[in-house]
Amino acid sequence: MHNPFVPETLEGWSVLHLLYRFDWPRLNSCSAPAREAIAAGAVTALEQTMSGDEAGATAFVQVLGHKADVMLILFRRSFDDLGRAELALAQTELHAYLLPTTSYVSIVELGMYEMTAKVHRLVEQKGLRPESEDYHAAFDALMAEQRQRVAGRLFPAIPAARHVCFYPMDKRRGELQNWYSESFERRAEMMLEHGKIGRHYAGKVTQIISGSIGYDDWEWGVDLFADDALTFKKLIYEMRFDEASAKFAAFGPFYIGLQFAPPDLGKLLKGELPSL
């Protein structure tokens, strides 16, 4: 059943963020060649959980600050594939030197406020009753067309950008401000204005939104990729003045770091700055 007051969503990659601290005293007791071998074994194990570009990707990020040392962002076709990747990592020698700090489970998501309203109108113009099976079949067919149109946004490649910012967020459901009690039209209007700010930063930052309602402690996860870390500050600061954020957004912890090429994991374990 399709509720006309609930925006449809389209889903893509299954996503798992894994954040760890290294057990540096134990790692530092290993020789440099041993640390290179430990890193290579972990990278190979994760690569072997994929087969071809359509099977997913893994981003490696050196996290700045005390919250973690490294963040792995796994993009896979399904939760089964995420489970296989997590198990593969657990079987590596590196895993014995990893101290988990947090994780996050989600699915790449496109919210379709404007398209939901448009598709409902198109189906109604066919003279179909909203409670009929034909109505919902026609609705599903039109949404499937939209899914094909935006497939590249549902299954994006990992941007080749040096800086990465990840944070979870919610829409407020408090007594005074409740996003979900606002009308569909009002929410759609606010999201349209919210999106305009992001479009001002096109070419400077790539944003990947993933939905986590029912999967983790927050409702969405946001990954930002940019060559200039200052872009994150300017974009998020500007969005704070947007009504959808100012009144209804609640933010979790922020994780910022440097993306690096997987083969450079060995450098990181040896105390050298890895490169992209």
pLDDT tens figures, 177-191: 899 888 888 988 888
Say what the pTM is.
0.89
pLDDT tens string 8-59: 788 999 999 999 999 999 999 999 999 999 999 999 999 999 876 678 999 9
4 contacts 184 by C-beta, under 8 angstroms: yes
Q: Is 167 a catalytic residue?
A: yes
Helices and strands in the chain: count of H runs, count of E runs: 10, 9
* Options 104, 135, 167, 201, the catalytic residue: 167
236: confidence class by pLDDT, cuts 50, 70, 90: very high
Mean pLDDT score, 149-160: 89
Structure tokens of 191? 């999201």
Supply the pLDDT for residue 3.
62
How far does Cα 7 stand from its chain's mean position?
A: 19
Hey, is 162 helix, strand or coil? coil
pLDDT tens string 72-109: 999 999 999 999 999 999 999 999 999 999 999 999 99
Dihedral, 246, 13, 165, 253 alpha carbons, nearest 10: 60
- Paired residues of 211 in beta bridges: 107, 220
Of residues 171, 168, 172, 173, the one with CA closest to residue 253:
168
Rounded Cα distance between 109 and 210, Å, is 5
Of residues 105, 104, 102, 83, the one with CA closest to residue 20:
102
